[in-house]
Amino acid sequence: MISRLISTLIVTCFVCVIIKADQVTLKNGDRVTGKVVKYDGKTLVLQSDLLGPVSIGMDNVDSISTDKPLYVHLSDGRTVVGLVSARADKVDIKASSGDVSVERSAVALLRSEEEQKSYESTLNPGWFDQ
């Protein structure tokens, strides 16, 4: 009885670890999990534990779901930070200031927190960074 309970607990923890990842579903039905690193307007870069960095043309992407906030730069100049869920032509961003829904074409850039910090450091480099 106890061994069965321990086995169930281990399997549940393993499944929870698998679920905690960004997921990209391609139009052909394939799914890639990992961490969304950035999107530059054409290509989405996903860091996969097994495959390493994977570059995917956005025209091949059916949906995106993230489990960590991304910096979403919109074409109107706004930057929204939150969890991203995209499907078809709609992008939903669950931000702490409230939910934002936009058309996919309104998303100019996506950046992970690390990518955003790296970008910001290029805007105001330190004395030794030059």
How much is the pLDDT for 123? 86
Q: Would you give the distance in Å from CA 71 to the centre of its chain?
A: 9
Contact 47, 56 (CB under 8 A): no
How much is the pLDDT for 16? 47
Residues 35-79 pLDDT 10s: 999 999 999 999 999 899 999 999 999 999 999 999 999 999 999
107 inside domain: yes
How much is the pLDDT for 105? 94
Structural domain of residue 92, as residue ranges?
2-122
pTM for this entry:
0.79
The answer, yes or no, to whether residue 9 has pLDDT greater than 60, is no
What is the number of other CB atoms lying within 10 angstroms of the CB of residue 128?
A: 5
129 inside domain: no
130 inside domain: no
How much is the pLDDT for 101? 96
39 inside domain: yes
50 inside domain: yes
Average pLDDT, rounded, for the chain:
87
The whole-angstrom separation of Cα 22 and Cα 106 is 21
128 inside domain: no
How much is the pLDDT for 102? 96
12 inside domain: yes
Q: How many domains does the chain have?
A: 1
